Structure 1
Amino acid sequence: MNLIDLTHTFTNDMPVYPGDPLPKLHQITTLEKDGYNDHELTSVMHVGTHMDAPLHMIQNGKTMDEIPVDHFFGKGVLLDARGKEKIEPELLTGKTIEPGSIVLIYTGFGARYREASYYEKNPNVTEAFAEVMVKAQVKIVGMDILGPDVPPFQTHKILLGNGILTIENLVNLEKLLDIPHFEVIALPMKLQSDAAWVRVVARY
């Protein structure tokens, strides 16, 4: 069995959605003074590698703690979207997507995580693509970009409104390019919230 970590390390200087405050992760006790180490974290949820629950965009939608745990495992499908400005249904040509799959969109932007272009020029996932994901009955759509779309967030609403969770800010997707069969394990914190940080692993 082999594992690939698809998760960014959570740090104080990670990029955030424009307008959001930076996270603050700092040490509040030390072994020398207090006998133990402890840290305090203050942050919005939509930073770093995280998963959106329906409540993020859907009135009265489910919170992360209400999602059944079997929703976080599934057969992985990698879509190579390098060089694409829009993620369209044509990207699925030749792909077999079974119900319950977890679709990962590789744009290459994960390598630009700390560059200005990560915020300014990342591709958008189209509403048409989202509709295909709904018809295919996938569990999750993940991507190595800041988010699938921009206001008014129609792609978000299509996916989350149909129970398809989204994962944003993935990394290392290029390591899956030559792996034809893999499983995705994406375990978010069990929070009563519209999103949660998530550790995402591919297993093959």
Structure 2
Amino acid sequence: MKYIDLTHVFSAEMPVYPGDPKPEMTQIAFADSQGYTDFRITSSMHVGTHMDAPLHMLKDGKKLSEYPPEHFFGKGVLLDARDKKIDLELLENKTITRGDIVFIMTGFYKKYYTPEYYKLYPEITEAFALKMAEEGIKIIGIDTPSPDRPPYRIHKLLMKNDILIIENLTNLEELRSHAEFDIVALPAKFDAEAAPVRVVACLAS
């Protein structure tokens, strides 16, 4: 079995959505003096590679802590959207079944530490989002900061259909040559609308 990490490193240097506070990672205990090491984290949920639950956009939506662990494992499907519109054409010659985890590769993760990252990212079309809901996928992920922009119609459409959203993926290009792979996407079990998530692709050797 081979494993590919699709997760950005969580650090104080991560870019943040314009207007959001920067994350802080402060060392509060040191091995030389206290005999152990400890860090304190102060951060919004929506930084780095993270997962959004319906509560993020829907008043009465579910929290991540309400999902069973099996919801975060599944068959992965990679859609190549580099230099393409994220529309129904991406689904040509692709088979998507109920419960799949669909990842959209735009290549935009390469701009992660640049000013363009939160300004110029591509968006998912409504037709594409509706098709994902129709197919019954359980998680959608993308290597950009968001599937859409205000007023977040795509977020809400997906979440109303109980589709979790992973933002800020990385390394999706490493999956291009693999026809089949499984995904493990385990978020921290926070009683909240979102959480950091470690996303790993599992490939048969």
State the TM-score, normalizing by the size of structure 1: 0.98
Partner in structure 2 of residue 66 of structure 1: 66
1:105-144 counterparts in 2 under 5 A? 105-144=104-143
Partner in structure 1 of residue 7 of structure 2: 7
1:32-111 counterparts in 2 under 5 A? 32-84=32-84, 86-111=85-110
Could you tell me the percent identity over the aligned residues? Answer: 55
Partner in structure 1 of residue 16 of structure 2: 16
User: Matched residues in 1 for 2:21 and 2:39: separation?
Assistant: 19
Per the TM alignment, residue 129 of structure 1 is displaced from its structure 2 partner at its CA by 0.8
Residue-by-residue CA offset, 1:158-187 (whole Å, 9 max, x unaligned): 111110000000000000001100001000
Q: Which runs of 5+ in 1 are unaligned?
A: none
SS at match of 1:133: helix
Partner in structure 2 of residue 187 of structure 1: 186
SS at match of 1:192: coil
The runs of at least 4 consecutive aligned structure 1 residues that moved more than 2 Å come to none
User: Matched residues in 1 for 2:91 and 2:71: separation?
Assistant: 22
Partner in structure 1 of residue 175 of structure 2: 176
SS at match of 2:200: strand
1:144-155 counterparts in 2 under 5 A? 144-155=143-154
User: Matched residues in 1 for 2:101 and 2:146: separation?
Assistant: 16
User: Matched residues in 2 for 1:164 and 1:142: separation?
Assistant: 10
User: Matched residues in 2 for 1:89 and 1:156: separation?
Assistant: 17
Code of the residue aligned with 2:17 in structure 1: it is Y
RMSD: 0.7
SS at match of 2:32: helix
Q: Which runs of 5+ in 2 are unaligned?
A: none
How many residues align? The count is 203
User: Matched residues in 1 for 2:115 and 2:79: separation?
Assistant: 24
